[in-house]
Amino acid sequence: MHPRLRFWLVVALGALAGVVVSFGLAEEAYVLATLTVTLIGWLLLEWFGGPRPEAWLLAAVLGGYVVASRGFAQLLLSPQLPLLPGESALAAGLAAAILRMAFRQTAVVRRDLLNAAILGWIVLGAARLWPDFGAYGVVALRDFATVYYALFFFLAQSLATHPPSARLLRNTLLASFAILPFSYFIFTHYGDILQPIMQFRGVPLVYYKEDLAAANFFAGFFLLLTVPDWPMWARNALALASYASAFAISSSRAAIVGLLVTSTWWAVARRWTPWKLQGLAAPVAIGVLAVLAVVQPGEFRESRLYTLYEHGASMVDLTGTGHYSTEDRRYVGDNNRFRLVWWRSVIEETLRGGPIFGLGFGADLSSRFLRTYELDLGEEFATRSPHSIIFTVLGRMGLAGLAVFLCIIGGMALRTLRLARVARSDDRVLVPLGWWSVSWVMLSSACFGVVMEGPMGAVLFWTALGMANATGADALAAHRETSSATSAVEPSAETASLRNTGAVPEVSHSS
C-alpha cells in the first residue's frame, strides 16, 4: 500500500472512530465507545510493540482489583452487556492467546502435573455445569465462576514467556501493593467524603472487603521483598507498611494463616528477610500498643493491644467456646462455630446427595446449615460460600472435584519445594518465589474465607499461579544449565586431587 494512501486511510478511520465514540458518550452508550477505543488501542499496541494488548488488559484488571477491590469488581458498562471487568479481560485475553498459539507465538498449556490438574478440574467442572445450567440457570453459571477463573492461569502462563508482558504484570502488582496501604487508609477514614464523589452508575469505584484487603496486604508484603532493583530501605519500608496495615484490620484471621504458610516456604528457601522484618516489627508494635494502653484513658480490656491478644487467641479456639470482651472480638466465637457447623453440614449433605460429583453449581449449600445452626442469621442470609474453597469444591463438585483440586495443591507444593531448594543459593529465582508467595497467601486465606469464589481474589491467585509456574520452570531450567556448564568446566574434587599428586597428567591444548 502506498504510504500516503495508508496515512489518509488511518486518518479516515480515526475520524470515524472519534465520531462513534463522541455520539456514544453523548448518549451514555458506553459499550460501543469502549469497544471502539479498545479496538483502536489494541491495534496501536500491536503496531508499536512492547507488552501485548492482553497483558495491558490483565494488568488493568489486577490493579483495579487490588487498589479498588469490590468497587472495581462491580463496574458494569451496560446492563444489556453483563460483562464485568474480569470476564471481559478473560474473554479478550484467551481469544488472543489462542490465536497466538495457532501462529506459534506462545504456549498456553505446558506439560506438567499442575497444568494437567488445572485443565482436568476445569473439564470436570464444565461437565458438571451442563445439567446444572438447565436446572438452576444463571445461578449455576455464577457459581461456576469459581472454576472458570482458573482460565486466568493459562492466560498468565502464556504472557510469562513474553518478557515485556511479564514485566508489565509484575510492575503493575508491585505498584498496586505499594499504593494499597495508603489508599486503604484514605478510604477507610475519609470514605464518607470520597465515595459519593467517586461513583459510576451509583456504584462506588473504591470499596474494600476487609478480609480480602488483609490477604492482599500480606501478598504485597512478600512480593515487595523480591525487588532487587529498589533500594533496600524502600522495599522494606513498603513491605512493613503492608504488614502493619493487615494487622490493623479486625477480619484478618484467614489472611494470617496465609502469612504463616508463606513464611514457612521462605524458611525452607533459607531466605530470612520476612522473618527478620516480622521479628523487628512485632516487638516494636507491641511496645507502642502497651504504652498507649497505659497512657490512654479507659480500661485495658478495651485497648487495641488486648484486641490483638484476643484476635490471636480466637484463631486456636476451634470449637468457638471462648469468651471475648472487646467490641471487635465479641462475636468471634460464634464466627468459629458458624464455620464448623456449615462445613459439617456441607460434608453430610454432599455425602448423602452426591458424594462423587457433588450437589452441583446452583445448589443451595446453606439450607441444611441454616436449619441446624442455633443462632438466627435473619431471613436475608444470602451467602453462598461456606467460607472455604475446600468445602465449596466438595459441595459443588463432590469427592471427584475435591481430589483433582487437592492435586492442584500438591502440584503447587512440589514445584514450590523445588524452587525453594534452589533459592538457597541462586538469587535468580527470587522473582518466581515472589509469584509463588502471592499464590500461597491467597490459597491459604481461601481455605478459611471467601477469597477464590469472587474475582477480586480469584483473578489474583490464578494469575500469580500461572506466572509462578512459568517463570519458576524457566528459572530452574536456567539454573540447571548453569550448573551443567560449571561442572563441565571445573574438574571434580577427586580428579583435582589426583592431578595434584601427579596420578592424572595435565593435558596440553597448545599446538
Q: Which domain holds residue 115?
A: 109-481
- The mean-pLDDT minimum among 74-83, 118-127, 139-148, 394-403 falls in 74-83
Amino acid 17: pLDDT: 65
d(CA 85, CA 458): 13
Residue 100 lies in a domain: no
Residue 78 lies in a domain: no
Q: Residue written as cell 469459581?
A: 146
- The mean-pLDDT minimum among 190-199, 288-297, 345-354 falls in 288-297
Residue 25 lies in a domain: no
d(CA 499, CA 497): 5
Question: What is the maximal distance between C-alpha atoms in the chain?
Answer: 93
Alpha-carbon 337 to chain mean position = 27
CA nearest to 65, candidates 192, 207, 276, 199? 207
How many separate domains does the chain show?
1
Residue 182 lies in a domain: yes
Three-class SS state of 270: coil
Give CB contacts under 8 A, 24+ apart, made by 162-168. 162/51, 162/52, 162/55, 162/106, 164/49, 164/50, 164/51, 164/52, 164/55, 165/51, 165/52, 165/54, 165/55, 166/467, 166/471, 167/51, 168/51, 168/55, 168/56, 168/59
Mean predicted lDDT score pLDDT of the chain: 82
Residue 113 has pLDDT above 80, yes or no: yes
Amino acid 488: pLDDT: 64
Residue 72 lies in a domain: no
- The mean-pLDDT minimum among 43-47, 350-354, 359-363 falls in 43-47
Residue 458 has pLDDT above 90, yes or no: yes
* Percentage of residues in the chain having pLDDT higher than 70: 75
pTM: 0.85
- The mean-pLDDT minimum among 167-181, 275-289, 384-398, 457-471 falls in 275-289
| Dihedral angle computed from the Cα positions of residues 438, 442, 444 and 449, in that order, rounded to the nearest 10 degrees | 160
Q: Residue written as cell 595435565?
A: 506
Residue 276 lies in a domain: yes
Strands 199-200 and 203-204: antiparallel
178 near 224, Cβ under 8 Å? yes
Amino acid 29: pLDDT: 59
197 near 206, Cβ under 8 Å? no
Three-class SS state of 453: coil
Residue 489 has pLDDT above 70, yes or no: no
Three-class SS state of 204: strand
Alpha-carbon 352 to chain mean position = 33
pLDDT tens readout for residues 392-432: 999 999 999 999 999 999 999 999 999 999 999 888 889 99
Residue 198 has pLDDT above 60, yes or no: yes
Residue 62 lies in a domain: no
| Dihedral angle computed from the Cα positions of residues 354, 383, 80 and 125, in that order, rounded to the nearest 10 degrees | -30
CA nearest to 248, candidates 329, 304, 297? 304
Residue 153 lies in a domain: yes
Strand ranges inside 198-313, DSSP E: 199-200, 203-204
- Cell numbers given for 177: 501493593
Amino acid 479: pLDDT: 86
Amino acid 495: pLDDT: 43
Residue 31 has pLDDT above 90, yes or no: no
Residue 234 has pLDDT above 60, yes or no: yes
Q: Which amino acid appears at position 73 of this protein? A: A
| Dihedral angle computed from the Cα positions of residues 121, 469, 150 and 246, in that order, rounded to the nearest 10 degrees | 120
- The mean-pLDDT minimum among 116-120, 181-185, 494-498 falls in 494-498
